[in-house]
Amino acid sequence: MTVDVAGCHTVLHIDRLTSNLAMARSMLDRGARILGVVKANAYGHGALAVSRALERAGIDGFAVDSPDEGIELRQAGVASPILVMNPLCPGDASAMIGFGLTATVSDVEAAEALQAAARRAGRPADIHVRARSDCAGLGADGDAVVSLLRALRSLANLRVEGLFTHMIGPYRDDTAQIGREVAGFRTLIDRLPADLPRPPLVHAVTSPGLFNAPDARFDMVRLGAVLYGIRMVEAGGAPFPFRPVMELVSRVAHLCRLEPGDDIGYGPAARRRSDGRRGGPAGTGGRAAMIPVGYADLPYLLRFRDSAVLIRGRRAPLIGEAFMGKVLADVTDIPDAALGDEAVFVGAQGIETITVEDIGKANGIRPSAVLMLGPRVARRFAGEVGEPVGGVE
């Protein structure tokens, strides 16, 4: 029997996840494929649960960063194609072949290592060639792509299934940069020599580009954030029809009185000099709720700014400094706050809502990073529409 006494838990709404997938499909041309990006434990949402749900919903495949992420999915029974997006390290070639993972190749040395592993295993291997855009030098430059594709033709155990790039412009919502990147990639494709056929799957768009780079959708898109209901860019105020998939909830574990000058953190900036309310009179003290969530569970708390939780349908500002396993919220203006009250870090309570976009903007981090959670956070699942929350992981 699982005993659920975690100080903090998430609720993953499976029905919202699958609805977001359906919404993404409705925005694409018929026949366009979707790779669900489940790297980094599906942006903290739980890669196994997310992948199983999306596979049942008919997604075309998955994208991860590293072989170990793909191997974990395979060992859990995920059968869909899995693209490992980071460049192939030659030493990983045998594992990639053994677990049926699709490798990213941007140089001949890696391709030859994969060819040798595939020959030993007696099976072919699918690969995707990565072309450089503006992203940190990753991928082969234009002329090198042509040379690489030609070299790959002599490696009999490799099948070039895809050609892709990763654009930066959509994340900056920079129209000019998007235009340059799309034009450069399209020129590369259009100028492939006649003896080098266009790979079946060309892809460039990720979640932001679904809104601001429609000309770069090609044969397939790689979607992470939108499947989780996370908005990465404003894209000129375009409607965002995706629902947040995960909530983060804790509870009030202790209530205390704080006096002026009380220390609520290790650093000198954490000394309490007023009641914590903006504009409140100095020297009046206040009331605080201790919530058993710290930066070991929610890393942005290590240096949080202008953040709050929801208690009894009202915002309770976080104060002082977070500890490894706890943080304080000012409940001076919530006099009925009581032990055991729900404290919502991400999600809705009453008419109030806190989103990862709110937290990201206040703390200067990308919203997709907010839910990169520590291992102590329990995970619960809400199944199909109307089913109760259950299933602690």
Contact 201, 128 (CB under 8 A): yes
Split the chain (393 residues) into runs of 10 and give each run's mean pLDDT: 66 96 97 97 96 97 98 98 94 96 96 96 96 76 91 96 95 94 94 93 97 95 98 89 97 92 76 46 74 95 93 96 94 96 97 97 95 93 57 49
Residue 272 has what pLDDT? 52
CA gap 84, 328 in Å, rounded: 41
Q: Which amino acid is at 159?
A: R
Residue spans of the domains in the chain: they are: 14-228, 246-370
Q: What is the pLDDT of residue 142?
A: 80
| Residue position matching structure tokens 């979640």 | 207
Active-site residue identified among 43, 171, 228, 266: 266
pLDDT recorded at residue 3: 47
Q: What is the structure's pLDDT at 162?
A: 98
Contacts of 197 (CB under 8 A, 6+ apart): none
What pLDDT sits at residue 18?
97
- pLDDT (0 to 100) of residue 14: 96
Beta-bridge partners for 291: 327
Confidence at residue 387, expressed as pLDDT on a 0 to 100 scale: 46
Looking at residue 263, its pLDDT comes to 79
**Both ends of the chain: CA-CA distance in Å?**
12
Of 39, 171, 300, 326, which one is the catalytic site residue? 39
- Give the CATH architecture of domain 246-370: Beta Barrel (2.40)
| CA 207/CA 28 separation, integer angstroms | 12
Give the integer Cα–Cα distance in Å for 293 and 6.
10
Does the 14-228 domain belong in CATH 3.20.20.10? yes
Give me the pLDDT at residue 206, please. 97
Q: Is 39 a catalytic residue?
A: yes
171 is catalytic: no
What is the pLDDT at residue 354? 98
What pLDDT sits at residue 279?
Answer: 39
- Please check whether the two domains, 14-228 and 246-370, share a CATH topology: no
Residue 269: per-residue pLDDT: 66
At 335 the three-state DSSP class reads: coil
Please give the Cα distance from 277 to 140 (Å, whole number): 54
